[in-house]
Structure 1
Amino acid sequence: MAMIIGLLDIIIAFIFFLVLYCLFLHMRTQTPFLTNWPVLGMLPGLLLQIHRIHDWLTQVLEAANMTFRLKGPWRSGTDILVTVDPVNVHYILSSHFVNYPKGEEFQKIFEFLGDGIFNVDSGLWEDMRNSSHAIFSNKDFQSFSVSTSVSKIRQGLVPVLENASEKNILVDLQDLFQRFLFDTSSILMTGYDPGSLSIEMPKVEFGAAVEGVVDGIFYRHIKPVLRFSIDC
């Protein structure tokens, strides 16, 4: 047992120093592309870009002609194909959508969505898409959506920003916009305004629950699934 523990310590130490070495070499390069290291994939270089992930990703996509493949660590199941090419997006999401089923793994990760449009394939997805298109293209709904957003800006967002300016208060813009989205979505879907975007900035239990769900989805996506088999 002691020999096994000692071997594990050596392996962990080796991986740690390997990551540091890869980070050091990557810092010396000027290209926006990440080096695909053995075993570690592009993880070392990605860690260096976390603080500016959106700017870096924009640079990479510009240099890669709008499509880039991100390689994760070996056997981690985190390889990601990123594309912002309109032709690719139309091909995948519209003209040849049937060729890209989400599959069981996707449904396990996003099980909280149930059988919603973001979690289904084939005929059921087409039915929901047609229904959604009929709703969102309706002129009455579009008019209601615009009036709801304008009203929330005038009665919610602007007063909060004016109050922060007058009292010299720091505000979290991400939190403000999340509250704006939460209130307007609630009004559009249920007709009820929860009033989370106000000077009082009340605690939003639903928002906290959504953040918990997002964290769960993140870990489900990046954490490898452990599979055990028992021979009888």
Structure 2
Amino acid sequence: MVNNFGFPHRWACCFLAAGLWISVPATRAESAKDVGQTIASSGASGIPACASCHGAKGEGMAAAGFPYLAGQGAAYLVLQLQGFASGERSNPIMAPIAKGLSAEQIKAVASYYSALPAPFNTKALSRLVDTYPQKDAVGAWLASRGDWGHDIPACFQCHGPGAVGVGEHFPALAGLSANYIQEQLIAWQEKKRAPGPQALMGDIAGRMSKVQISAVASYLSKLPESAPTAIEPKGAKQ
């Protein structure tokens, strides 16, 4: 008799007895995890280790402009690596690295970094949803309230309270270097980086002034230290 998997029952029993039936998926999952960790810490096939620029724990090197990867959504990281490889996102360092990785390797290293703890205090940053910055604090206001007169939504609206990231496609921004954030916003303005889901960032960055870009980049880079502490008053309007 043949079971639903196409094996005679006697062979199915042998697989189960040997523990092979249930160990194959586990082995594959473990292998993918190992591949991701190896690429991150040691590199692969002439590809340098991610850790050499992004830190041993994926915490990044803000002073050098290398963003943290730890805790970012796997789907987001996959899209960025694919973008570097295709040229949709321009970067002379990352382009050859991404091109040298297979699709499986990209998924593995993205999954590895997404599982690492983010390098910031999520609870402390999330409390920013209850704060109300002064309107002349341009960066803080844009991040938490936006500029609806110019159709610019608040960063926190998509990237979460305190810019801690939301889901797989909206990355955390808190604590990224000001230069890195500014460079990305300018790249979207100049169409040197793919605009992302629903072309959101291309449209938003295109409506931002140089002053706004500089201010919000500076504010986000200093979170949570630069966070306003005043609680929003009842009935306050944007």
Establish whether TM, by shorter chain, passes 0.5: no
TM band (smaller chain): under 0.3
Q: Higher relative contact order at CA 8 Å, sep ≥6: structure 1 or structure 2?
A: 2
TM-score w.r.t. the length of structure 1 is 0.25
Rg larger in structure: 1
TM-score w.r.t. the length of structure 2 is 0.25
Higher helix proportion: 1
